[in-house]
Amino acid sequence: MEKYDIVIIGGGPAGLAAAVSARESGIGSVLVLERDKELGGILNQCIHNGFGLHTFREELTGPEYAGRFIEKAEELGIACKLDTMVLEISPGKIVTAVNREDGLFELQAKAVILAMGCRERARGALNIPGFRPAGIYSAGTAQKLVNMEGFLPGREAVILGSGDIGLIMARRMTLEGATVKAVAELMPYSGGLKRNIVQCLEDFGIPLKLSHTVIDIKGKERLEGVTLAEVDGRGKPVPGTEEYYPCDTLLLSVGLIPENEISGKMGVELNPVTAGPKVNESFETNIKGVFACGNVLHVHDLVDFVSEEAAAAGKNAAAYVKRESAEDTAEKDVWDAAGREVPVKPGEGVKYTVPERINAAHMGEKLTLRFRVDGVYRDCYVSVWFDGERVIRRKRQAVAPGEMEGILLDRELLLRYPGLDAIRVAIEPG
């Protein structure tokens, strides 16, 4: 069986940044396993610009952003296997994978970094009544057809869901000559960036119908039209508000789900809110030496944050391998004995946090605690509580569920509370 220090599952932005960082931290034996025929992941089909403002201080398109990391990985001579599907990982870190060249094979890893990304929620999860005609696509599938294959999925479209992919596809379909009749959003606010609402919808006069959903699908072989209706505060359609839109295409942009089948099967504990692994300050899961980063951990809106998080995961995995492989176990013993993990709990207005356990003795000087809020709040404060004491209070003019938030924690601050039982993050009114 071939042996590697670090095996990374997935060659998208998270996998690439983790690989580069692990290599730069002095680990030579790194392997990236990617199921697609090229590296870069979903960035390759995100041809619009707006990526990289944090990382490179310039606006890049998705393929350009991926290109920077692919180039770096090549320079560093990082090994990759493309067209390779990972089937299983054992708790002992034996990775079982398959491809056309090697057939079915196993690898022994000292550390594993999970970077499989996420997939789109499909129609089946929405329970929209009606037949199952052709012409209903997830927004990402349509994006791949238009941007990579050069096919336009239809001429007249309605889009359900106003997340960024839905908005971006409204513009893309319009530029390619299709008519986008409406974007319907179940919630009273859009989950997409303001910039995309203005530049993808308003620029082309596409109506955004908030608090609306698709209640019926017409057409047996090919989609003929959809019925939209307004919904009440509990998401139930309001009778009398139905409107019929003839169309041949319905795009669904209704959420992303981290792909954790392999993680779950190997015994990685998952957070039911994020559907991603529960990790500590080192991005390590409950299984020692198994790390997670990027959209498989929690769905991001900015790839820059994915790269940042993955670089940390790669660095920590490298440190783990060095500690575990050293003949002299002194460093490992000190590490294992140092400090203890304190749980981080989502308080009022906060849906989840990543990480959800912090051992101050194992963290760097600073750590960004990332989280999402459960609604739109204006003129509020993000507060961090150490047990009954509020230790951080930062003003925010506005927070929304569509934009991931973060707050910086200092190791020094944490070390001053040795008896700490729990850390809580909450949104408090101004």
Residues of span 201-240 touching other proteins by CB under 8 A: 202-203
Footprint of other proteins on 63-82 (CB under 8 A): 63-64, 67
Interacting span for other proteins (CB under 8 A) from 194-202, 230-238, 361-369, 382-390: 194-202
User: Concatenated DSSP letters for 222-261?
Assistant: B--EEEEEEB-TTSPBPTT--EEEE-SEEEE---EEE--H
Q: Is 301 in the site for other proteins (CB under 8 A)?
A: no
Task: Give the nearest distance from C-beta 114 to other proteins in angstroms.
Answer: 27
Which position among 24, 29, 36, 48 is part of the footprint of other proteins (CB under 8 A)? 48
In 355-422, the DSSP E strands lie at 357-358, 366-373, 377-386, 389-399, 405-410
Residue number, 61 or 179, with CB nearest to other proteins: 61
Burial of 341 (C-beta count, 10 Å sphere; 0-12/13-18/19+): middle
Closest separation between CB of residue 293 and other proteins, Å? 24
Stretch that binds other proteins, among 41-49, 74-82, 98-106, 107-115 (CB under 8 A): 41-49
* Selected binder of other proteins within 85, 87, 125, 148 (CB under 8 A): 148
The verdict on whether omega for the bond into residue 355 sits within 30 degrees of 0, i.e. cis, is: yes
Among 24, 36, 56, 61, binds other proteins (CB under 8 A): 61
Tell me whether residue 202 or residue 412 sits nearer to other proteins (CB atom): 202
Q: Which two tokens stand for residue 335?
A: 């590490």
# residues near other proteins by CB under 8 A? 33
Among 341, 374, 403, 428, binds other proteins (CB under 8 A): 403
Part of the chain binding other proteins (CB under 8 A), chosen from 61-69, 111-119, 128-136, 285-293: 61-69
From 198, 334, 338, 422, residue interacting with other proteins (rule: CB under 8 A):
198
- Tell me the closest approach of the beta carbon of residue 63 to other proteins, in angstroms: 4
The CA distance from 6 to 110, in Å, is 6
Min dist CB 39 to other proteins, Å, is: 11
CA distance 28 to 116: 22
Measure the CA–CA gap between 222 and 152, rounded to whole angstroms.
15
173 or 342: whose CB is closer to other proteins?
173
User: Does 368 participate in binding other proteins (rule CB under 8 A)?
Assistant: no
Which tokens go with 339?
């400090």
- Choose between 43 and 89: whose C-beta lies nearer to other proteins: 43
Instruction: Provide the Cα torsion 367, 372, 377, 378; round to 10°.
Output: 40
Asked if 152 is part of the footprint of other proteins (rule: CB under 8 A), the reply reads no
CA–CA separation, 179 and 182 (whole Å): 9
Asked if 149 is part of the footprint of other proteins (rule: CB under 8 A), the reply reads yes
Q: How far is the CB of 125 from other proteins (least distance, A)?
A: 27
- DSSP 8-class letter at 77: T
Nearest CB to other proteins, comparing residues 194 and 222: 194
CB of 191 to other proteins, least distance (A): 11
Q: Residue 277's closest CA among 302, 254, 259, 300?
A: 259
CA 87 to each of CA 8, 31, 34, 39, 105: distance values in angstroms, whole numbers, following the listed order: 13, 16, 12, 19, 10
Which is nearer to other proteins, 128 or 399 (by Cβ)?
Answer: 399
Could you tell me which of 32, 40, 42 has the C-alpha nearest to residue 4?
A: 32
Asked if 402 touches other proteins (CB under 8 A), the answer is: yes
Alpha-helical regions (H) of 267-384? 303-325, 330-337
Identify which of residues 87 and 198 has a Cβ nearer to other proteins in the complex.
198
**Max CA-CA distance within the chain?**
75
- Chain residues binding other proteins by CB under 8 A are 44, 47-49, 59-64, 67, 146-150, 175-176, 193-195, 197-199, 202-203, 378, 397-400, 402-403
